[in-house]
Amino acid sequence: MTELGSRFAYTARPIPPYDFRLTVRKPAGWPLFTPFEVYADSTLWSALRVGGTLIGVRLSNLGTVESPRIRVSLSSREALSAYEREHVASALNSRLGFDEDLGPFYAMARNDQILKHVVSDLYGMHDTDMGDVFSGALLAISLQMTSMPRSNAMMECMIKRYGEAAVFDGRRVMFWPTPKRLAAFTPQQLAESCKLGYRAKFISALSKRLASEPFPSVEELKAMGPADAKRLLMGLPGIGDYSSDIVSPHGGFPIDVWSADIFGKLFFGREPRNGRAAIERIKSFGMKRWGRWSWMAFYYVAQDLENLSRKLGISLRLT
């Protein structure tokens, strides 16, 4: 357990529109940084790692969608220097999309027959980044070739068994393990303890790689071009085309068997007969249609399936 007793706070003013609830507590249930974060009374308690340091995060909504104000309280084990505080705050602001202008995306989306619905339903929802590269990669690998209930079970087991507890503000938030921690176990031990199956070999190799070699942070990946970030991520064990689109702070168009059914219906009016075989075709079609906004389009559609089903009169599978 890690007691995070040193705290600093500031008030952020994101670029409007900024819907706090939609951004930190996404309609589809995707967690912000960890499945164990807590949301109550317009406040989120979560955690993330910046430069290997575990940070407790409390976000409180003080404003409105058009005039957003968010009180940010960050807790760490040791007191941070002024430089470190600035670095941590900058990393968090970037992950929460505070400086992201939704205007250009909305301008394109309002002229698109699919997206015009989702940007109306989810007005002010910003894109957010993973807590760190390793936790994003563990999430992506857990999603591969299995059902959502089993993916969730694998992730929760890894976090509970090998992760770190951020204790602050009277709360206890479990966060993802470090590469060093997981690198201490064999693939067999990981597979047996959390029923990871063949993914244990990927996770073990990934842990050893990131524990022994430097790898760009989320901020560094964001600072480089999308293609360079994707190339680096795909060099990691267990991270292919789909997973790199999930982990990259630039996003992508992460079409898998589940989303191939959804976008097949949206683009062509029906689910593909063979979802796996249709992935390439649907991904290519979507990226051609939405270009640099492909990730935002994917993100907004995935969060709005229920409303979209009703508005378009088609059944989009939620899970």
Report the interface residues with DNA, using CB under 7 A.
Answer: 140, 143-151, 191-192, 195, 197-199, 201-202, 234, 236-244, 256-259, 275-276, 319
Residue among 54 and 239 whose Cβ is closer to DNA: 239
| Nearer to DNA (CB atom), residue 84 or residue 271 | 271
User: Which CB atom, from 95 or from 199, has the smaller least distance to DNA?
Assistant: 199
The least CB distance from residue 23 to DNA, in Å, is: 18
Q: Which is nearer to DNA, 54 or 301 (CB)?
A: 301
Q: Between 67 and 189, whose beta carbon lies closer to DNA?
A: 189
User: Between 14 and 254, whose beta carbon lies closer to DNA?
Assistant: 254
CB of 253 to DNA, least distance (A): 12
Closest distance between DNA and the C-beta of residue 226, in Å? Answer: 16
In the complex with DNA, the residue whose CB is nearer, 198 or 268, is 198
CB atoms within 10 A of CB 9: 12
Query: Nearest distance from residue 42's CB to DNA, in Å?
Result: 26
> How near is the Cβ of 58 to DNA at its closest, in Å?
27
Token reading at 131: 């807590």
How many residues comprise the chain?
319
Non-local (6+) Cβ contacts of 131 within 8 A are 33, 34, 47, 48, 49, 95, 175, 176
Angle at which helices 294-303 and 305-312 pack, to 10 degrees? 90
Least distance to DNA, CB of residue 252, Å = 11
Indicate the pairing of strand 43-50 with strand 38-40. Answer: antiparallel
**Least Cβ distance, residue 179 to DNA (angstroms):** 16
Min dist. Cβ of residue 215 to DNA (A): 14
Which amino acid makes up residue 259?
Answer: S
Residue 250's φ and ψ, nearest 5 degrees, are: -85, -10
Closest approach, Cβ 223 to DNA, in A, equals 23
**Residue 146 Ramachandran class (φ > 0 left, ψ -120 to 50 alpha, else beta):** beta
Q: What is the largest CA-CA distance in the chain?
A: 57
Select 11 or 274, whichever has its Cβ closest to DNA: 274
Two structure tokens written together for 295: 């990730």
Minimum CB distance to DNA smaller for 16 or for 237: 237
